[in-house]
Amino acid sequence: MSRIEEQVHSKFKLFAGTLDSDGSIGTLARQVASWVRGAKVAPKSIGIEYLESTRRVLLTIGYRDDEPAYAVELTSVPVARLGALDEADLARVQKELEHTGSKLQRVICHELYVTEAGDLTMVFMTHEP
């Protein structure tokens, strides 16, 4: 089992792009995975923000370059359309989040974004052997 010290990081790489026609970050995800392989880094975290005003995406990768590198994949999965965000809606979305996350293996971390239509999408960073 890893130690928390191995997760701590202070370096970040910023990417910008648009959502693909299916609402995913597929194109941007491939750019990130390619950069990780080329830079030979150990990714630790992701951050993502969907900018409704420009329909663009900002994505950050937190990483370390002082330990062995490994490959990752970013996968965006549509989860649910948000409703009132009351207790019932949060419970419904929570159930969908758990169901979505259970389908993936070797998850390092996750992030989410919401479009102007209220569509919530989870982005998972997984370790690729």
Predicted confidence (pLDDT) at residue 105 exceeds the cutoff of 60: yes
pLDDT of residue 4: 83
pTM for the model stands at 0.90
- 55 is in which domain, residue-wise? 4-128
Residue % of the chain over a pLDDT of 90: 91
Total structural domains within the chain? 1
Q: What are 82's two structure tokens?
A: 């948000």
Q: Looking at the DSSP assignment, which residues form a beta bridge with residue 120?
A: 80, 114
Q: Tell whether the model's pLDDT for residue 86 goes beyond 90.
A: yes
Q: What is the Cα–Cα distance from 71 to 123, expressed in whole angstroms? A: 16
* Side-chain-side CA neighbours of residue 53 (13 Å): 0
In which order are the strands placed within the sheet that holds 56-64? Answer: 11-18, 56-64, 42-51
Cα–Cα–Cα angle for 41, 42, 47, rounded to 5 degrees: 100
Average pLDDT over residues 40-59: 97
Task: Report DSSP state, residue 24.
Answer: S
Q: Does residue 1 have a pLDDT over 60? A: no
Query: If pLDDT is split at 50, 70 and 90, which confidence band does 57 have?
Result: very high
Q: What is the pLDDT at residue 69?
A: 96
